[in-house]
Structure 1
Amino acid sequence: MTTPTNRGTFVTQEYRTTIATNEAIKLRYPKARSVEINTQLNEAAAIALAAKVLSANEQPEVFELEVEGIILPDAYKGGVPTYVPEFDKFGTDGREMKLVMFSSNLETGITTIRIRG
């Protein structure tokens, strides 16, 4: 099997790494962990992804909700669903949040979802 020219050029390039850092957090928490995401992106896309991941973790909020009905894994075939919660009680700010966990109880017919963003 032969490798296409453009793919061969990409594969033989030196491994690239990009780092996004929040200096205020590093000063406050010197042992804060780093998150490494392995991808095959070009440098510009990798820098954009690193900035997006960093900004999504600056002031995250997490909500856990109970939904009446059973949600099965097939509901997530197209990708991770996103939600924009509107909870006056919690002063939500209209940010988009992603599903990070769900669990369905077949006996009660209730699904618990956890969203983060």
Structure 2
Amino acid sequence: MSDRLPSSLPPAPGPSAGTMTRLGYLLRIGPRMPAVWFMRAYRATVSRTYGPVCKYYPSCSQYALDAFEHEGLLRGTMRTAWRLLRCNPWSSGGVDYVPGSVLDQRSKMLRGAPGPGDD
């Protein structure tokens, strides 16, 4: 008896490509969403109470939100912790975007810094 199935049989039922794509998307963004929601709630309540007191631009809470959205939960947490350690009375502050984020790319483009693909 042959181990090969006749080609006239329909494919075995299973998840479609669209379902797998959606599942992959949910697995990628799922872990970061609680952190994103927390930062949005923080920015809408606590951050609004204190006003613009951060020495950096964007503010530390906006930086954390960008880091979680761009880098994910683990890397976003590490970037946020490093930023909070740098945000202290002895730092000079300044412009500090999440590396590789949309704001960082726009800033480099406006400053004329070479971007990806430039020689």
Higher-RCO chain (CA-CA 8 Å, sequence separation at least 6) = 1
Alignment TM-score > 0.5, same fold: no
For normalisation by structure 2, the TM-score amounts to 0.32
Please state which structure has a larger fraction of its residues in strand: 1
Please state which structure has a larger fraction of its residues in helix: 2
Higher CA-based Rg? 2
